[in-house]
Structure formats: C-alpha cells, structure tokens
Amino acid sequence: MKELSLSKVYQLLEPGPVVLLTTAHKGRANVMTMSWHTMIEFEPPQVACVVSSANHSFAALHATGECVIAIPARKLASKVVKVGNASGRDLDKLAAFQLTTAPAARVSPPLLVDCFANLECKVTDTRLVNKYNLFILEVLKAWIDPAQKNPKTIHHQGYGKFVVGGKTIKFKSRMR
C-alpha cells in the first residue's frame, strides 16, 4: 500500500461507500461493517460516524479512541455482509472471514490489505456519543492500494441490498 495525501481523503468517503471499521482492545482485533459516516472537514480530514452501542466494536472504540476505516471494493461485498451479520462477541471475524491484516503506522487496530484504501483514525470528540453513538474522528494517515484501479464501491440501501458504483461523469465545477 502507498501513502495517500490527507488532502485527498475526503474524495474516498464523500461518495458514501460502505466501509469496514477495525478496532483493537485487550489484545484482540475486531471488524464491523459501517454505513453511517460523513466527512466533516477537509484537512486535517475529520469524519463523523455512528458506532452503535449495540455493536461489540463500541466498547473498543470508546476505550481506546482508535480505529481504521477500510474501504472495500465490489469484490469484497460478500465478506462485508458476513462481517455485518456476525458479532465480535462470538467470533474472531478477521480470521473467520479470512481478512488479511497488516500493522498500521499510527494506531493499534490493523489495516485490511484487501481493501483499496485504509484510513488510520483517532477519536477527537465524544460529545455526541451518549445521545447518538456519534464519534468524531481525525484521520492521521491514509493508504491506498495502487494495484486496485478504479475500484467500484458499494453503497447500502438496507437489508443486504447494495448499489454498486457505476460510470463516472464530470462537470466543470468550482466545488472542491
């Protein structure tokens, strides 16, 4: 994987793909599927995301303040669903679903090397955690896999139905 400029991170999350979120707590790594996230700042890149207190990952994220957001392409869709349907309470999901990991540079949770992008994050604001399970994250370091060209992201419409990113269109724009 190759380092990506932090100024480009928003371009990966702004389209709204389903992502995988890894955590590590008490010597054990875990992974969950997450769709409720948004950019909130360009640089340093900041993200707001919901990790439900019903998710096993919640305690790890809350206690350690660290996670990795990994972005899967279409080919990983069936594993993404398996991750979403299982709980780290009962299962070592990384092993069970054969998700290959690599150490991150700045945080303890692992990178997922089959994903085309990995974002190392720390929690920076927990004011809305109690009421909404909403965490504010800062992206500390970003990686992309140059071998995955034009990866097709997947976008959850509910109940295991996903729309796959199709063709791209380009307009003259002053929008960043």
User: Interface with a copy of itself by CB under 8 A: which residues?
Assistant: 8, 10-11, 14-17, 33, 35-41, 46, 48-50, 74, 77-78, 81, 84-85, 125, 127-128, 131-134, 136, 152-176
Give phi and psi for 5, each to the nearest 5: -60, 135
CA 37 to CA 154: how far, in whole Å? 14
Q: Which residue, 16 or 65, is less far from a copy of itself as judged by CB?
A: 16
- As measured in angstroms, the least distance from the Cβ of 98 to a copy of itself is 17
- As measured in angstroms, the least distance from the Cβ of 128 to a copy of itself is 6
CA dihedral 104, 108, 114, 118 (to 10 degrees): -60
Q: Which residue, 85 or 100, is less far from a copy of itself as judged by CB?
A: 85
Q: Which residue, 19 or 104, is less far from a copy of itself as judged by CB?
A: 19
- Cβ 143 vs Cβ 1: under 8 Å: yes
Place of tokens 């190392």: 120
Q: Which residue, 141 or 156, is less far from a copy of itself as judged by CB?
A: 156
Q: How many CB atoms lie within 10 A of CB 38?
A: 13
